Amino acid sequence: MKIVVLHGPNLNLLGSREPALYGRQTLAEVEALLAERARELGVELEARQSNSEGELVTWLQAAQEDAAGIIINPGGYSHTSVAIRDAIAAIGVPTVEVHLTNPAAREWFRQTDLVAGACRGTVAGFGAVGYVMALERLVELASGG
């Protein structure tokens, strides 16, 4: 079973970007935590990061070929990207949106989420553990749970 993990804009700056808000874990450390849990579950994990909306859409479309599920943190694109939302809706692969912080508890412009409506679910506000929560649920769904 393969799960694709897509990290959106500015997530490559984790660890140095607003550490009071996002913490000091780097993206590599977040991915290592997720990879460890994937190994325990016997799941293949493919993780990618891009600051480009078009590249994220291309990766979403490619995932329909062999992914049992997708974990996406679209970052700021959550609030602006009809293209990412439409790609998720079009491919039919169960997708969970993850946010390290809780956008609903932040600035007004972060409280609109265009992507969430196309996803199976959303995990927000639990830091890096949110990725693990999403992985566990997608594996459960893919296994018939």
Catalytic center residues:
22, 99
What residues pair up with 95 in beta bridges, in sequence order?
70
How far apart are alpha carbons 125 and 51 in whole angstroms?
A: 21
Confirm if 44 and 38 have CB atoms less than 8 A apart.
yes
**Backbone φ/ψ region at 104: left (φ over 0), alpha (ψ -120 to 50), beta:** alpha
- Ramachandran class of 72: left when φ > 0, alpha when ψ lies in -120 to 50, beta otherwise: beta
* Residues across the chain: 145
